[in-house]
Amino acid sequence: METAPKMASKLTLFLILGILSLLVGLFFSYTAFTRVSAADGLAGMYILLGLIPVVLLIITDRICVWQFGAKKVNKVQFYITGILVLLFILNWIRLQAQ
């Protein structure tokens, strides 16, 4: 069994976000499935289908951590996240200027 510090050194940004989105998605999907209307059931199915890319991202993340190490993978993931945040901010500024 791995110790806590060694386990924490293998955590990455996309793994944490992926696990959180899986938990939230499964919760909302379950609540949508247990409702009465057909539209809620369809929404639950769409949520479950939306979790497939998240699972693929987690698998890819674990393969990259296994090959390159968590420190290098985390660095690349923070760059990707920073670029996406920058693009959202630039888009927001563009929409405000219209």
List, for residues 22-56, the tens digit of each pLDDT value: 999 999 999 998 888 899 889 999 999 999 999 99
Query: What distance in Å separates the CA atoms of residue 96 and residue 98, rounded to the nearest whole number?
Result: 6
pLDDT above 90 for 9 = no
Q: Tell me what pLDDT residue 10 has.
A: 87
What's the pTM? 0.82
d(CA 88, CA 74): 21
Say yes or no to pLDDT of 1 above 80.
no
Is residue 7 within 8 A of residue 15, CB to CB? The reply is no
C-alpha 83/C-alpha 89 separation (Å) is: 10
More confident: 88 or 35: 88
Average pLDDT, the chain: 92
